[in-house]
Amino acid sequence: MLRRSLIVSSLAAVTAFAVGSAAYAAETQKSLSSESVLEAIKKRGKIKIGLSTFTPWAMRSKTGELIGFEIDVGKELAKDMKIEVEFAPTQWDGIIPALIAGNFDVIVSGMSITPQRNLSVNFTVPYANSGMGIVANKKLAPNHTKIEDFNKPNYKIAVRRGATSVEDVRRFMPKAQMLQFDDEATSKQEVVNGNAHAWVTSAPKPAFAALENPEVMYVPVADPFVLAAEAFAMRKGDPDALNFFNNWIESKHRSGWLKERHNYWFKTQEWKSQVAG
């Protein structure tokens, strides 16, 4: 009898421990879920997206409205979540600190995945793939056919401050002088005005710039000299939101929606008449 009582007591203790553990696990999961940005988004009924304007990811139309590939992505995401979307244009070199500070929920702004950025934020799976290109001034840098041609001490290369192009210029053109500007338009204009030999930026902007300024600019290297993958960036410690965004991106890849929208903005200029300037 004593042995049987001990067995029954042991089973009861094990059962109580299992129930207690399950309850603790459930409570922990509930706590973790409640801390996810997804819960804040659902409660608010709106997702706040941080971005920086640059062609053709996000631009101002003639009426001042934001348009571009990034804007399509943000609107589609909000539609599928059955909520509203709010875009928060932010200076590129301060966009990650602004995300960490909670100014918006996620960055959807053509941000390339890099180890340095990944130390501060988590990245989703890529939703777009591009690469780094170059467009040059015909008079200052004529007939160049390779990146090495621009690696000269007297050459000035324009880039956007805080962009991956900064590191690419340092890597591939270490002898050149790098001119950093806060926006894409100024970087491009420096080459048009003859104040810089070339502008390094993500494709397809070099090709678009050459088409817009055929008398002044040309693309010396047709293919991107650095390949890149762009992803959503989000605050660390939020597996629920990361899982949701990853699955959303994968579903849009499978349906062909992302490819169709990317082709429209990156491989055509059908949208050009909508853009101011």
pLDDT tens string 109-146: 999 999 999 999 999 999 999 899 999 999 999 999 99
Q: Answer yes or no: CATH 3.40.190.10 is held by domain 131-227.
A: yes
* DSSP code for 200: E
- 198-202 vs 59-60, strand pairing mode: unpaired
Please determine, for residue 14, whether its predicted confidence score (pLDDT) is greater than 90: no
What DSSP assignment string belongs to 217-239?
A: EE-S-SS-SEEEEE--EE-SS-H
* Tokens describing residue 13: 């203790």
CATH class of 37-127+231-274: alpha beta
Mean per-residue pLDDT, 21-40: 58
Provide the token pair at 117.
């950025």
Using a pLDDT cut of 90, give the percent of the chain over it. Answer: 78
DSSP 86: E
What sign results for the dihedral spanned by CA atoms 207, 209, 213, 217? negative
Mean pLDDT confidence for 252-256: 98
pLDDT at 5 (0 to 100) = 55
Per-residue pLDDT, averaged over 153-165, amounts to 94
Distance CA 4, CA 26 (A): 33
What span, in angstroms and rounded, lies between the C-alpha atoms of 188 and 54? 11
Tell me the percentage of the chain whose pLDDT exceeds 70.
87
52 vs 8, which has greater pLDDT? 52
Confidence check: pLDDT of 30 > 80: no
Give the Cα separation of 276 and 187 in Å (integer): 18
Q: Where in the chain is the domain with CATH 3.40.190.10?
A: 37-127+231-274, 131-227
What mean pLDDT is predicted for residues 65-81?
97
Mean pLDDT of the region 22-31: 41
Say if residues 45 and 84 touch (Cβ distance below 8 Å): yes
Asked if residue 88 lies in contact with residue 51, where contact means CB atoms within 8 angstroms, the answer is yes
Kindly report the pTM of this predicted structure. Answer: 0.76
Using pLDDT thresholds of 50, 70 and 90, give the confidence band for residue 12: low
pLDDT value of residue 4: 54
CA atoms within 13 A on the CB side of 50: 24
In this prediction, residues 153-177 reach a mean pLDDT of 95
Amino acid at 258: L
Predicted confidence band of residue 267 (pLDDT cuts 50, 70, 90) = confident
Contacts of 94 (CB under 8 A, 6+ apart): 162
For the segment 161-188, the average pLDDT, to the nearest whole number, is: 94
**How would residue 55 be classed by pLDDT, with cut points 50, 70 and 90?**
confident
